[in-house]
Structure 1
Amino acid sequence: MGIERTDQWLRDHFNDPLEICSRLKPLDKDKSESQFYQYLLSFGMYRPNRMTKDIYHNLLKDHIWQRVEHIFARYQKKWNGPDIPVYIFPFGKRRNSRSEMKGGVSFKEGMFLFLSPFYKDEKELEALFVHEYHHVCRLSRLDKPFQQYTLLDSLVMEGFAEYAVTKSCGDDYNANWVSRYSDKELRYYWERDVKKHLQTKRSEPLHDAILFGKGRYPDLLGYAIGYWLIENASKKKRLSIQDSFTIKSEDMLD
């Protein structure tokens, strides 16, 4: 497995993303190609247009597929992680800054990176990979059906993934949501909005509303709360990267 040749898929089927998604069907058997494509779009998957075609060509020029392959080999060995397929596609959302021109989403069986050609600093590319691959490693080692995952599980999942970025790449490469809210603000939101809903299942709308920050909830609130929980826990007890793959979510509330 490893890095899938999505560069060739894009060469042959750039204007037909549903054809590309038909090759990804095993990752989510409950969704049609169209539904899965819509799901990927929410995380940064491209739409066929002139801008994303230019991004694709620039990714080729920057040898992104080969560069990610080297990063993958290093972390798979370092973390004794699973050998899963990695799918790279152009980033398709419009953002205000270059630092936001990337995204990703992970499953137990594979991961997606949505990239734009702004990775002159290799650590920036590595940081995105570390975050998403940490998800894969934790999902593969936790003995819990995905349907039973709760909001607490998701908070801890995101928090540990970005904690791995801190440890592997340094504070300078953390996502901007790590420092978006003050400690005082996070404590306020935790007490008012989050703590009472920790057992909300991921299939319930409230889960995504809090995690991603929708409606009355601030942007990416759950992500920020997740990192805050892990950071606070790490001040009380030493947390290694290997611990972060298997420790139970409930243990982060002690």
Structure 2
Amino acid sequence: MRLYDTSSWVFRHHLEKIPLNKAFQPLFDKDKTKIKEEWFNFLMSQGMMPVSLKTKRDWMVWRKKINLINLKKHMVDLKKEFKGPEIDIFLFPLNQRHTNIMEELDGKNGCTFPDYIIAFWKDSLPENDQKALLLHEYHHACRIKYQRIKESSITLLESMIMEGLAEWEVQNRLGKEYSAPWIKRYPSEMVESWWKDIYSKNINLRGRQNHADLLYGSRKGIPPLMGYQLGYEIISNYLKDDQSSDSRVLLEIKDHQFLTGKFTKNKQVKG
């Protein structure tokens, strides 16, 4: 497992005049179907600090506030505990002008793929919050491994379960104070209503690309991050009934098995 401090790439680009596509090659090699422009558009959309002479100092400030040794130990411990996959982790400073990430996600964001993670955070983010983000994202990688998940066939229910389980692990290991703000964004009664009226009928919707509106919210009337909070409440409801809370056991449980009590399947479920 390797952690990449990507600020070193940017400094090499500025000081040694190395082209960005070469400096970023360890990441770009993860998906060679993307050209340089596609990669940078993706990274910027997820929160990466722009690379320019104007932001050079911002990258340096961010770098001085991370402890790679502590973060690496944290990840090695998680890999052992979860019996998780060997993956690469790419760390980036967050563009604090990205208002959605700053306001809704407390200045941190992550993307997880089967063999790598990309993480972004603001320079003022405390180390335990950095660890919380990496725990959340690595748990996704473990769930992908245990359930053999593919982007093209993943169900909406599994997408929500992944978010809920990962955040439960953060709360269980680091404390509730490090939980994401979206776990309690809406009253439980409101979440249950959305489950009954909308989500329970769409849990078999397949393909990650088809889940965005229901996970993140949309202009169609879906509240922001409702799918995330619903995933967390499904897990909380399951665990309150004295079900096993062993981390590896939970990783092995199929998505539909978490539907108990008030979150049982709707008879009109699609798919």
Considering the TM-score relative to the shorter chain, is it more than 0.5? yes
Which residue of 196, 199, 202 corresponds with 2:201?
196
Task: Give the structure 2 partner of residue 38 of structure 1.
Answer: 41
Task: In structure 1, give the amino acid aligned to 2:244.
Answer: R
SS at match of 2:118: strand
Q: How does 1:200-219 map to 2 (within 5 A)?
A: 200-205=205-210, 207-215=211-219, 216-219=221-224
| Number of aligned residues | 252
Cα separation, partners in 2 of 1:211 and 1:20, compared to 1, 3 Å: farther
Provide, for residues 155-185 of structure 1, a one-character-per-residue CA deviation record: whole Å limited to 9, x for no partner: 0011111011011111111000001011101
Provide, for residues 9-32 of structure 1, a one-character-per-residue CA deviation record: whole Å limited to 9, x for no partner: 121237975555554234335433
Q: How does 1:96-175 map to 2 (within 5 A)?
A: 100-120=106-126, 122-175=127-180
Distance 2:81 2:218 in 1: 36
| Matching of residue 6 in structure 1 with residue 6 in structure 2 | yes
The answer for unaligned runs of 5 or more in structure 2 is 261-271
The answer for unaligned runs of 5 or more in structure 1 is none
Task: In structure 1, give the amino acid aligned to 2:43.
Answer: L
Following TM superposition, by how much is the alpha carbon of 1:107 offset from its aligned partner in structure 2, in angstroms? 0.7
| Matching of residue 223 in structure 1 with residue 228 in structure 2 | yes
Task: Give the structure 2 partner of residue 92 of structure 1.
Answer: 95
Cα separation, partners in 2 of 1:145 and 1:203, compared to 1, 3 Å: closer
Taking structure 2 as the reference length, what is the TM-score of the superposition? Answer: 0.83
Task: Give the structure 1 partner of residue 74 of structure 2.
Answer: 71
Task: In structure 2, give the amino acid aligned to 1:240.
Answer: D
Cα separation, partners in 2 of 1:211 and 1:92, compared to 1, 3 Å: same
SS at match of 2:117: strand
Taking structure 1 as the reference length, what is the TM-score of the superposition? Answer: 0.88
Following TM superposition, by how much is the alpha carbon of 1:218 offset from its aligned partner in structure 2, in angstroms? 0.8
SS at match of 1:148: coil
Across the aligned residues of Structure 1 and Structure 2, the Cα RMSD in angstroms comes to: 2.5
**Residue pair 1:18, 1:37 contacting (<8 A) in 2 also:** no
Task: In structure 2, give the amino acid aligned to 1:4.
Answer: Y
